[in-house]
Amino acid sequence: MKAQGSIEIAAPPERIWPYLIQPGKVMLWSSTYKKYEYAGEQQEGVGTKYYLEEQAGGPLMKINFEVEEWEVNKKLTLKMKSGIGVKDYEQTYSLEKTTQGSRLDFMEFVEMPMGFFGKLIGRLVEPMSVKTITKIQLKLKELVEAN
């Protein structure tokens, strides 16, 4: 399953970036995350590890992510290294400066377990994922623009 969304935010990328990388700030806008924290001492750059518990319409997912791309104020890619609830999970956030602030693009790829049946489930829940992405991006926009 692949879901994505974009939103314009009236703020420069450097005001948005902390809301993508700092667990306390991520928890302010993500409605599906039950827990999001560093999973090691490193707290920036490629190799940073995060632990996530997410309830997104199905069973509770418990996932260990590692940062694969980290371009400050530009791009963040998290890749699942281990976990339960899904077979594979990747998230990419891209920030681009615009004349009125920034555009935030978000893409997630989720591979469900159970082969063909998992792919079918993924296709069925994809519209719900897109709706959730829109909701959390609006919450992020509200938070960033208020500060």
Q: How far apart are CA 71 and CA 46, in angstroms?
A: 9
Out of 9-13, 83-87, 125-129, pick the least confident.
125-129
Residue 119, CA distances (Å) to 86, 123, 126, 138 in order: 11, 6, 10, 28
| pLDDT, position 59 | 76
pLDDT digits (tens, 9 = 90+) for 64-97: 999 999 999 999 999 999 998 788 899 999 999 9
How far is CA 10 from its chain centroid? 20
Confidence of residue 111 (pLDDT cuts 50, 70, 90): confident
Share of the chain above pLDDT 70, in %: 86
Percent of the chain exceeding pLDDT 90 equals: 63
Edge to edge, the sheet with strand 2-9 lists 2-9, 101-111, 88-98, 75-84, 61-71, 49-54, 33-38
Burial environment of residue 94 by CB neighbours within 10 A (0 to 12, 13 to 18, 19 or more): middle
pTM score: 0.86
Comparison of pLDDT for 146 and 4, the residue scoring more: 146
Average pLDDT on 128-136 reads 75
Structural domains in the chain, CATH included, are 2-146 (3.30.530.20)
For residue 71, the 8-state DSSP code is: E
Question: pLDDT by residue (tens digit) across 22-46?
Answer: 999 999 999 889 999 999 999 999 9
Average pLDDT over the chain reads: 89
* Residue 130 scores a pLDDT above 70: no
User: Is the separation of the CB atoms in 24 and 36 below 8 Å?
Assistant: no
pLDDT classification of 98: cutoffs 50, 70, 90: very high
> In the prediction, which pLDDT does 119 show?
60
